[in-house]
Amino acid sequence: MAGLELLSDQGYRVDGRRAGELRKIQARMGVFAQADGSAYIEQGNTKALAVVYGPHEMRGSRSRALPDRALVNCQYSMATFSTGERKRRPHGDRKACEMGLQLRQTFEAAILTQLYPRSQIDIYVQVLQADGGNYAACVNAATLAVLDAGIPMRDFVCACSAGFVDGTALADLSHVEEAAGGPQLALALLPASGQLALLEMDARLHEDHLQQVLEAASQAARDVHALLDRVVRQHVREAALLLGD
């Protein structure tokens, strides 16, 4: 613990940000022509790519098809070159399965699945560079990809991580801050209604501080929403211009 203080006396973090400041976000929709929807997002140094196929007929076991709504199938994988040390198993390990389940839970809450009975929607997310906030970057990328595919959703799903150091809640943790071992909260939010799609926390946090951390994460998610909103509007405007005639 010697040498690396996550929050300095003047209120600056390791990478020079303030406590509630997000990293720089850049996103693009429609990166793959072959998929129904695709998106790429960079949150600081974390880079994630999401691809959506569907809705289409159930492949594989027909018996798993739900008669009244669509099945959302998410797969999370990390590129072998994404972490500091080369990752041996890109998909199929426990963490990836758990992330896949969390993504599925998040998107089943947001996508209007009742419109597509007996169909399947596939969401594949890959992390190309992992520098903290993997789940958040994946959710943000997948939201843009689902929008690009034209699948109806209740609202955007915006996610951000938050931590707690020295009595202050930090928003959008980088890998250095995550590895320091403090409490980390991941939150996925539907901004218009303020409803939470997913809330997950690692490590211990005193309940008195929970409200503060939740507030920080919610505010950060809303800031992410403002950015993603701008990206989508720009994309729609460009497409509308080209299709205009």
Partner 1 sequence: MAMEIRLPVARQRLPESLDRDTQKHLVVPGDTITTDTGFMRGHGTYMGDEKLIASVAGSVERVNKLICVKALKTRYNGEVGDIVVGRITEVQQKRWKVETNSRLDSVLLLSSMNLPGGELRRRSAEDELAMRDFLREGDLISAEVQAVFSDGAVSLHTRSLKYGKLGQGVLVQVSPSLVKRQKTHFHDLPCGASVILGNNGFIWIYPTPEQREEEVGGFIANLEPVPLSDREVISRLRNCIVALVAQKMMLFDTSLLYCYEASLSHQIKDILKPEIMEEIVMETRQRLLEQEG
Of 127, 168, 147, whose CA–CA distance to 43 is shortest? 127
- Cβ atoms < 10 Å from Cβ of 96: 18
Element (H, E) at 19: none
- Six-digit token pair at 214? 């939740």
Q: Residue 225 Cβ, how far from partner 1 at the closest point, in Å?
A: 9
Q: Residue 167 Cβ, how far from partner 1 at the closest point, in Å?
A: 34
Compare residues 65 and 180 and give the one whose CB is closer to partner 1. Answer: 65
Q: Residue 234 Cβ, how far from partner 1 at the closest point, in Å?
A: 8
Q: Residue 35 Cβ, how far from partner 1 at the closest point, in Å?
A: 10
Contacts with 150 (C-beta within 8 Å, 6 or more apart), sequence order: 36, 37
For CA atoms 112, 115, 119, 122, the dihedral sign is negative
Compare residues 36 and 178 and give the one whose CB is closer to partner 1. Answer: 36
- Residue 46 near residue 83, CB atoms below 8 Å: no
Separation CA 81–CA 78 (nearest Å): 8
- Residue 170 near residue 21, CB atoms below 8 Å: no
Compare residues 171 and 231 and give the one whose CB is closer to partner 1. Answer: 231
Compare residues 11 and 152 and give the one whose CB is closer to partner 1. Answer: 152
Q: Residue 107 Cβ, how far from partner 1 at the closest point, in Å?
A: 13
Compare residues 61 and 193 and give the one whose CB is closer to partner 1. Answer: 193
Compare residues 56 and 89 and give the one whose CB is closer to partner 1. Answer: 56
Residue whose tokens read 């809640």: 169
Q: Residue 177 Cβ, how far from partner 1 at the closest point, in Å?
A: 30
Separation CA 83–CA 25 (nearest Å): 20
Q: Which residues bind partner 1 (CB under 8 A)?
A: 33, 36-37, 54-57, 112, 116-119, 147-156, 190-193, 229, 232-233, 235-245
Separation CA 162–CA 183 (nearest Å): 8
